[in-house]
Homo-oligomer: A and B are copies of this chain.
Amino acid sequence: MGVKVLTVKEDILSVNDANAKANRERADKHHVVMINVMSSPGAGKTTLITRTINKFKEKIRIAVVEGDIASTIDADKISKLGIPVVQINTAGACHLDANMMRGALDALALGEIDVIIVENVGNLICTAEFALGAHKKVMLLSVPEGDDKPHKYPLMFTEADVVLVSKTDVMPYFDFDEAAFSKAVNGLNPSGKIFPVSAKTGEGLDAWFAWFEDAIAGTAGVV
């Protein structure tokens, strides 16, 4: 049975890759940059996205795609910021896929958007396997999760363009070895950037904001 499952999975991933490529081409045609934000549940994706929108919304036309198994909690929070939001409920699926992302693109006025920030389902594993067509992949690893996670969940850390170490404000209350963490991430992903941030206090966010602006400028020249 193992082999059968693997074949099915490869078929699914191959179809997904083709859909992701189509999403990317569609976004490129409209000069829209797509950023896929991933993490475990509760690592602070929504708070980071909120901070980023508030920083840039006068200057960059941002839309958000919210992926959740159930509920519209995060979409409700984001829509209060006055920007376009599409909620995808995956009905049990543990990650967004390129087909779902295509549906989100259908629902957005791409000619009026510079950047789509995608908040993926809270999952450190499956989300890394399914391309959406995004230009950049951003992951958060929160301090309470611990510094050993790159060893246990290597694919996500290998795939990410940026690793944000979130919730640094609670660093004093946890045993988190920043040097060991950076070494482990660099071992998997030598070109990946690591930014420690606290979306609560604002600590470290300037480095993230600078990366975000550069990534958009470098990718689509919209800034």
Contact = CB atoms under 8 A, between A and B. Distances in A.
Contact of A152 (B8, B69, B92, B129): B69
Interface stretch (A26-34, A56-64, A140-148, A205-213): A140-148
A169 B144 CA distance: 12
Contact of A12 (B5, B142, B170): B5
So how many copies of this chain end up in the complex?
2
Given A41-B145, A42-B146, A152-B70, A126 B12 contact: no
Interface string A62-94: 000000111101000000000000000000101
Contacts of A124: 40-41, 122-123
Contacts of A174: 170
A179 interface: no
A204 interface: no
A129 B149 CA distance: 23
Range class of the A interface residue count: 35 or more
A175 to B, nearest CB: 10
A132 to B, nearest CB: 16
Interface string A40-62: 11100000000000000000000
Contacts of A151: 70-71, 73
B40 A122 contact: yes
Interface string A4-17: 01001000100100
Contact of A125 (B8, B123, B145, B173): B123
A8 B73 CA distance: 31
Given A42-B149, A73-B152, A123-B123, 18 more contacts: A5-B12, A40-B42, A40-B124, A40-B145, A41-B149, A42-B146, A69-B154, A69-B155, A70-B151, A70-B153, A71-B152, A92-B129, A94-B126, A126-B126, A142-B144, A144-B170, A170-B173, A173-B173
Q: Which 4 A-B pairs have the closest CB atoms?
A: A42-B145, A144-B144, A94-B125, A71-B151
